[in-house]
Amino acid sequence: MLREDTGNDLLLRVEGLKTYFFQRNAVLKAVDGVSFSVAQGEAVGLVGESGSGKTMTCLSLMRLVPQPGARIVEGEIWFKGDNLLDLTEHEMRAYRGHRMAIVMQDPQTSLNPVYTVGEQVAEPVRLHLKERGQQAIARVLDSLRAVRIPRPELRLGQYPHQFSGGMRQRVVAAMGLTTQPELLIADEPTTSLDVTIQAQFLRLIRDLQQDSGTSVIWVTHDLGIVAQMCDRVNVMYAGRIVESGRVRQIYKEPQHPYTRALLDSVPLMGARREKLYQIEGQPPDLRSIPQGCPFWPRCPEAMDKCKEQYPPRTSLGGEDFVHCWLTEEGR
Amino acid sequence: MANQLLEVEGLAKHFRGGGNWLSSGGDSIRAVDGVSFSVEEGETFALVGESGCGKTTVAKMILLLEQPTRGTISFQGKDVSSFRGSGLREYKRLVQAVFQDPYSSLNPRMQVMDIIGEPLRVHQGLRGRDLRMRVGELLENVGLNPVTAAFFPHQFSGGQRQRIAIARALALRPRLIVLDEPVSGLDVSIRAQILNLLVDLQRDLGLSYLLISHDLAIVEHMSHRVGVMYVGKMVELATRDEFYGNTLHPYSNALLASVPQPDPDVPMGTTIGGEVASPINPPSGCRFHTRCPIYLETNMCREVEPEWRGNLS
């Protein structure tokens, strides 16, 4: 198997990932050359609107892209020293739910209604940690306690419908975290939750992350969550990362016109804007992404060059970069 | 003071349920339990609160989709429940709604022409060329090309569909539009388009909005006054500046503190524990006492329901 020296604090490195959907008459480029990395203990955000490819990127990392239809056509996913795309399906199972876990948007559909919560949280314990009986139960109870579910001994024997939405999402988080994964992928885990419950959940994940040193990928369109939870952020548009940087840097000095527009288009509490900045048009159809920079039809600063050629990666120091002709030319 | 357009007084809605299969439990789900507020001409009044607080039920009663158990709704000084015949039709013309999900609020089998044209045909008897002209005008008002009148809903994106829903609401020149989470199903970049459109329409047409939302940043951007609901009760009502400058109710504080700010230098506030109480047998006394961070141990909060005090300012 291929091995590569990735430095000791890098957990995940994605290189040129491409995941396409093959339809009868079209190829839908959901992920079109995505590269980013996640350091150990780091929280990295993937932000973008629907169709920007953030969820498909995550499913590709888990090698769970919808079959048939979608395929990872190119790229490398280095998890420490292993390229996940070189592993057999059997070897991959040792990663999924063990070394990397995913918490999805809808806790209603990620739990099986006919098994008790205890049985479901115990599944990764049995499969990956090979623990049984009292030992497994003790671990499940610990997990439920860690996500602060009250009276876990009682809740263990209950079914998902007996839990509220917020509590169900905690159960899903407990399932993901029992095996103490090195990477947790949180795919819009709070969209269906009320604000106070969302705040509780965010705090919980942050505490767990600090205690266990787990790396987290936050997939969201909520710029508030990114600002509060992430160290770095990757802004996605039409299947590519258009800007990547440290959160403080990006919120202070966004380089890409799309990042800037996103930040200006959300109402900010306390800062009364007369009018919200409005990005004209809509995200592109992934079957026919415009030539050049995919954002040009909506970009207020588009030049002729933008319509012809995709801008190269311009380094902004450290690992920060942007793909925009404006910064590239302005250097 | 501006003119009152809509006034809601002691409004309540109790649903049957909460029992088991042997007993219905009676009217024991108290979804809305005595709510009073008013919407003035040209203003946006926002109702905020978490799921189950009753804000949508209030909207449904105003839209006559639910019958109040108690209380009155008055429109331009007249009791809505007394409306019959033409008076009732007039009320339904003047009060319109835009709902959260533009995918389910538009009939997929109808052309845009018919979706927007239906109220015009029914209420104003418009036909033929007049109808087409008016629909075209409405489409232009919401920033769509009049040519799209021949299209079906599936040919539009979510943001465009919401524009169609707004055009339909505007068709009969209403005075009040109930906006029930009008942008929560839309992408960030599209949200700004719709919010700006709503603000422009209000300014140009002098509309009143009853905005129902859980997004406190959007509420601050859009509204003039804010009412906070918790388990069927209004717990605080204030002007926007009072509410965002100096909230009084601990629940309002908790709501504001729970919003993750899109600024890495503003840390998250202290949130509250627990979950929204159930409207089936709601907590005694103050309904928020089970989650309140400054709960008084003197039993007062648990036993005595705090009185609604108007005009604190």
Nearest residue to B35 (alpha-carbon basis) of B8, B6, B15: B8
pLDDT of residue A189: 87
Dig out the tokens for A205 from the structure.
């994940």
A47-51, B110-114, B137-141: the lowest-pLDDT one: A47-51
Phi, psi torsion values for A6, nearest 5 degrees: -105, 10
Nearest residue to A156 (alpha-carbon basis) of B312, A164, A143: A143
Contact between A49 and B189 using a beta-carbon 8 Å cutoff = yes
Task: Give the model confidence (pLDDT) of B242-271 as tens digits.
Answer: 999 989 999 999 999 999 988 898 888 887
Looking at residue A67, the DSSP 8-state letter turns out to be T
Task: Give the model confidence (pLDDT) of A179-190 as tens digits.
Answer: 889 999 999 888
pLDDT at A226 over 90: yes
Give the pLDDT band of residue B21 (cuts 50, 70, 90): low
Q: Tell me how many helices (H) and strands (E) chain A has.
A: 13, 12
User: What domain range is B73 assigned to?
Assistant: 4-109+175-271
Residue with tokens 């801008």: A311
Give DSSP secondary structure letters for A139-185.
HHHHHHHHTT-SSHHHHTTS-GGGS-HHHHHHHHHHHHHTT--SEEE
> A74: distance to nearest CA of chain B, Å?
29
Mutate to test the interface with A, among B50, B145, B181, B188 (most CBs of A within 10 A): B188
Helices A133-146 and A117-129: crossing angle in degrees, nearest 10, is 120
Mutate to test the interface with A, among B56, B243, B268, B270 (most CBs of A within 10 A): B268
Contact between A226 and B262 using a beta-carbon 8 Å cutoff = yes
| Type and span of the H or E element at A234 | strand A232-237
pLDDT of residue A4: 44
The pLDDT mean for chain B works out to 90
* Integer Cα distance of A237 and B96 in angstroms: 36
pLDDT of residue B272: 86
pLDDT at A105 over 70: yes
Across the range A74-93, mean pLDDT stands at: 94
Contact B41, B208 (CB under 8 A): yes
Which residues from B are below 8 Å from A53, CB to CB? Answer: none
In terms of C-beta density within 10 A (0-12 exposed, 13-18 middle, 19 or more buried), how is residue B310 classed? exposed
pLDDT of residue B171: 94
User: Closest-CA residue in chain B for A149?
Assistant: B274
pLDDT of residue B52: 82
- Counting one residue from chain A and one from chain B, the pairs whose CB atoms sit within 8 A come to 125
More confident residue, A151 or B211: B211
Cβ-proximal residues to B297 (8 Å cutoff; 6+ apart), any chain: none
Contact between B268 and A199 using a beta-carbon 8 Å cutoff = yes
Which residues from B are below 8 Å from A248, CB to CB? Answer: 264-265
* Integer Cα distance of A163 and A113 in angstroms: 11
Nearest residue to A153 (alpha-carbon basis) of A202, A179, A116, A182: A116
User: Closest-CA residue in chain B for A52?
Assistant: B187
Give the pLDDT band of residue A285 (cuts 50, 70, 90): confident
Which residues from B are below 8 Å from A191, CB to CB? Answer: none
> B124: distance to nearest CA of chain A, Å?
34
Mutate to test the interface with A, among B196, B230, B263 (most CBs of A within 10 A): B263
* Integer Cα distance of B200 and B223 in angstroms: 13
Across the range A301-305, mean pLDDT stands at: 93
Dig out the tokens for B52 from the structure.
């189950």
B218, B259, B266: residue with CB nearest A195:
B259
Task: Give the model confidence (pLDDT) of B288-310 as tens digits.
Answer: 988 888 876 777 888 888 888 76
User: Closest-CA residue in chain B for A272?
Assistant: B221
The answer to whether residue B141 is domain-embedded is no
Phi, psi torsion values for B303, nearest 5 degrees: -105, -35
pLDDT of residue B222: 94
More confident residue, A97 or A3: A97
Contact between B261 and A224 using a beta-carbon 8 Å cutoff = yes
> A86: distance to nearest CA of chain B, Å?
36
Indicate the number of domains in chain B: 1
Domain boundaries, chain A: 10-99+181-330, 109-180
Contact A209, A228 (CB under 8 A): no
Which residues from A are below 8 Å from B220, CB to CB? Answer: 267, 269-270, 272
Contact between A221 and B187 using a beta-carbon 8 Å cutoff = yes
The answer to whether residue B243 is domain-embedded is yes
Contact between A268 and B217 using a beta-carbon 8 Å cutoff = yes
pLDDT at A194 over 80: yes
Contact between B189 and A263 using a beta-carbon 8 Å cutoff = no
Phi, psi torsion values for A213, nearest 5 degrees: 70, 20
ipTM over 0.90: no
Contact between A221 and B188 using a beta-carbon 8 Å cutoff = yes
The answer to whether residue B299 is domain-embedded is no
pLDDT of residue A305: 93
Contact between A228 and B264 using a beta-carbon 8 Å cutoff = yes
Task: Give the model confidence (pLDDT) of B170-211 as tens digits.
Answer: 999 999 999 999 998 888 888 899 999 999 999 999 999 999
Contact between A265 and B264 using a beta-carbon 8 Å cutoff = no
* Integer Cα distance of B212 and B219 in angstroms: 9
* Integer Cα distance of B289 and B283 in angstroms: 8
A29-38, A46-55, B18-27, B246-255: the lowest-pLDDT one: B18-27
The answer to whether residue B147 is domain-embedded is no
pLDDT of residue A190: 85
* Integer Cα distance of B189 and A223 in angstroms: 12
Helices A133-146 and A165-177: crossing angle in degrees, nearest 10, is 130
CATH code given to domain A10-99+181-330: 3.40.50.300
* Integer Cα distance of A27 and B25 in angstroms: 56
- Cis peptide leading into B146, omega within 30 of 0? no
Mutate to test the interface with B, among A228, A237, A246, A269 (most CBs of B within 10 A): A269
The answer to whether residue B152 is domain-embedded is no
> B272: distance to nearest CA of chain A, Å?
7
A167, A198, A269: residue with CB nearest B261:
A269
Phi, psi torsion values for B13, nearest 5 degrees: -140, 115
The pLDDT mean for chain A works out to 89
pLDDT of residue B20: 65
pLDDT of residue A7: 45
Looking at residue A121, the DSSP 8-state letter turns out to be H
pLDDT at B26 over 70: no
The CATH number covering residue B210 comes to: 3.40.50.300
The answer to whether residue B151 is domain-embedded is no
Contact between B189 and A224 using a beta-carbon 8 Å cutoff = no
Which residues from A are below 8 Å from B217, CB to CB? Answer: 266-269
pLDDT of residue B119: 94
Which residues from A are below 8 Å from B196, CB to CB? Answer: 275-276, 278
B192, B266, B272: residue with CB nearest A276:
B192
- Cis peptide leading into A68, omega within 30 of 0? yes
pLDDT at A320 over 90: yes
Give the pLDDT band of residue A6 (cuts 50, 70, 90): very low
* Integer Cα distance of A74 and A240 in angstroms: 14
pLDDT at A329 over 50: yes
Contact between A196 and B193 using a beta-carbon 8 Å cutoff = no
Interface of B with A (CB under 8 A): 50-51, 157, 159-160, 187-193, 195-196, 199, 214, 216-218, 220-221, 244, 254-268, 271-273, 275-276
pLDDT at A235 over 70: yes
pTM: 0.87
| Exposure of A321 in the CB half-sphere (CA atoms within 13 A) | 15
pLDDT at B22 over 70: no
